[in-house]
Chains A and B, each alone.
Chain A
Amino acid sequence: MTAAPAQALLLASMLFALGLLGVLVRRNLLFMLMSIEIMLNAAALAFVAAGMRWHAADGQVMFLMILALAAAEAAVGLAILLRLHAAGRPTLDADTGNRLKG
């Protein structure tokens, strides 16, 4: 099955918006991380779609790079969540327990 690049871009945009919305409305840090992954994947999808439009491999190259980034980000992100926990933060709620402000 083939889809027009424009449609793929539309899908990517929706995914992206969904991810952004997730970051904005979820309070759980884990879910926020996942939302970011969604956004990254939306961008990756957009690259693939664009590459399809121009019949070039650049889009796929970019996709691979983004995949690597997403993986790295997930790893580092989870490590930081552990650090947060080790530092004494009781919950994964992003809105409570913030010390840095003002």
Chain B
Amino acid sequence: MIALYGLVLLPLAGAAAAWLAGRASPRAPWSVAIATLVLLAGLLAYVTHAVPAGGGPWLAHVSAPWIPALGITLRCDMDGLGLVLLWLTVALSFPCVLLSSRDIADAPGTFHALLLATIAGVDGVFIATDLFLFFFFWELMLVPLYVLITVWGHEDRTRAAFKFFLFTQGSGLLMLLSILGLVVVHQHQTGVLTFDYFTLATTHLSPPLAMGLMLGFFVAFAVKLPVVPLHVWLPDTHTQAPTAGSVLLAGVLLKTGGYGLIRFVVLLFPDAAVRFAPVALALGALGILYGAWLALMQDDIKRLIAYSSVSHLGFVLLGVFSGSALGMAGAVVQMVAHGLSTGALFVIAGALQDRLHTRDLRRMGGLWPALPHLSATGLVFAIASLGLPGLGNFVGEFLVLLATWRVSPPIAILGAAGLVLSALYALTMIGRAFLGSPPGDGWAALPDFGARHMTVLGAAMALLLALGLYPQPVLDLSLPALPHDAARPIASPPVAPGGPRP
């Protein structure tokens, strides 16, 4: 389906248009960006609609030659997992643009162009099935985001942007090594030089080699997800990024890590992934607890939310490596729910910073009477983030823990302990920011959220609620299609579920 290319090209074209529009008038890029997003949503709806019924787990496919001499093609395929994450991307782009970027005064054209370019890169990551093309998008999406943070970020933006770029790029190089290693081994075996995901999945690898190649992929995705101890770029970056950047980072960019783990670690190297699973599960539990623990200690509200992301995405790692369809589905739901809740929290934190000119929780407090709407939405999303049943996050966490319990009850217990800590930091954040008494002699009049914010955040809330109470559509889509034979029914999990592993 040629429309898959459109998912990448449309935002790029929008980016160019926004940049040009920025030269005409400062408000025009915003409108262009909105229009682009609406078109993108329409295109995605078309793609979703055009999927032939019963056509197997791979829903759409398109391919064109790119660098024939090296067997590199512009091959894109979309499965349910990709579709879910594409929708998440589009859904989160709207709050980015609607809520955060309208008031960008400094070079709005460039800002929106970069934002759309990032979205294009992310879209590409979610559909590319040529490994080189995937890597191309993987690296490509960093550049505009780097510029966004460097130019429009907060006080310590330079360092943060640097860290972000170096970590992701450096780990990306490891992934490049693994990709090329896989390609070379495949060529050695078959004499065919190709970067095609489906072909490479058939490569026979000796166990140590598979482990080595898998680790290259794992590190790249672990940095992005992030997995403790490779998370150190994230708090700085999320804290210093402009609001739209934080939302995009937390909501979408991190999901590329989870997507990669599923698509390229577990499915390309199933055996190695099984052998690596104990380590990954331990890292996941460590991430859940460590992120929550540090979140609790933060005074900077954005930093707190950032560490909470580390904690939440530990569940994704658990789910992916729990080795069952259950865990995989849980990881996907967790990714979507985390995108919505944390994205919204970043919107709120950004709004607070706009109003108070500080992110320091020690200088907040008692904001509820001054900003009732903002505070109420903050409370709602904090509660979502602490995993209240009935909201999306709980579904993800529960499924992940259930899948983990089957493999290793102690790890699942540690993960459940993370739920206590998440309540701790979420409620502490709410308490310190909104409750209590205001510092000094009360707050001067502050502008509360208006209808625009309430509508968009309300929509996010509704999505979370829907995800929490009726997640079945996402669950049905979320099982990733297997690389091996597209005809195999979707229900069979990539790794046999079942009792504890030795």
User: Do A and B touch (CB < 8 Å)?
Assistant: no
